[in-house]
Amino acid sequence: MTSKQHKRTLLKLSGEALMGDDAFGINRSTIVRMTEEVAEVVAMGVQLAIVIGGGNIFRGVAPGAQGMDRATADYMGMMATVMNSLALQDALKHRGVDARVQSALNIEQVVEPYIRPKALRYLEEGKVVIFAAGTGNPFFTTDTAAALRGAEIGAEIVLKATKVDGIYTADPKKDPSATRYHKISFDEAIGKRLEIMDATAFALCRDQKLPIRVFSINKPGALKRAVSGEDEGTLVHV
């Protein structure tokens, strides 16, 4: 894939990415730094949509969730993503970036519902669209929500932002000789049993020929380089 700017991009942020060095919750300095990076790519003319996980908030109540019904726990997790989405929207507002939150769950007193044509219009107007509450269904992860929303809005790529700067041949923390894949095909990743996204999300991206780039959100300027199609992290392609 040649280096080029992705005009419409879906950014998948893990909830843990908002924690910084905290045990759970939202680290203010971390979210402010992220908004700076988001503002930078929006200023480039990129149409950016974001899906955020809720693990950072849900982790705080995890001990109490042990033995809980899976569907109930998943709905709690969806509500955590709404909280994260509102926090990011507020931080972007203070940075001067116009953002809208759309929720897959119907809570109109707090955020507007997900409506695809309206989301597309917001993107075309240069607004950041934050998709909250996953797919709105239990048993589906926010990875699947990112793949689904990415396909629905016609994104050119899904950027999966994590704490690791790409996909490695082995765990770099355990094996110093592990090397990073610069790019790898979907079929190769499946053959090597690399855990990039959950199986449903990964299959959807593959079927829709929607590439995935895995990169570290903690590296300064990494988001801009990933959006620009530079060799940042690992590109998973058809």
> Which mean pLDDT values do the consecutive 10-residue runs of the chain (238 residues) have?
79 87 82 94 97 80 72 91 95 97 96 98 98 96 97 97 90 88 95 91 96 93 95 95
Q: Is residue 40 classed exposed, middle or buried when 0-12, 13-18 and 19+ CB atoms within 10 A define those classes?
A: middle
141 annotated binding-site participant: yes
C-alpha–C-alpha distance, residues 172 and 108, integer Å: 44
Per the annotation, does 98 bind a ligand? no
Residues 222 and 69: their CA atoms lie apart, in Å, by: 38
Please name the helix (run of DSSP H) or strand (run of DSSP E) that holds residue 38, with its range, or none.
helix 28-43
Entry pTM: 0.93
Structure tokens at 230: 């530079």
Annotated ligand binding at 137? The verdict is: yes
Under CATH, to which class is 8-237 assigned?
alpha beta
Taking the CB of residue 198, how many other CB atoms lie within 10 A of it?
A: 15
Q: What is the pLDDT of residue 218?
A: 87
User: Residue 229, annotated ligand binder?
Assistant: no
- Residue ranges covered by each domain of the chain: 8-237
CA distance 75 to 134: 10
Residue 12, annotated ligand binder?
yes
Does the annotation place 175 within a ligand binding site?
no
Within 13 Å, how many C-alpha atoms sit on residue 208's CB side? 23
What's the CA gap between 11 and 175, in Å, rounded? 29
Please tell me whether 81 is known to bind a ligand.
Answer: no
pLDDT, position 40: 96
What's the pLDDT score for residue 1? 41
Please indicate if the annotation marks 15 as binding a ligand. Answer: yes
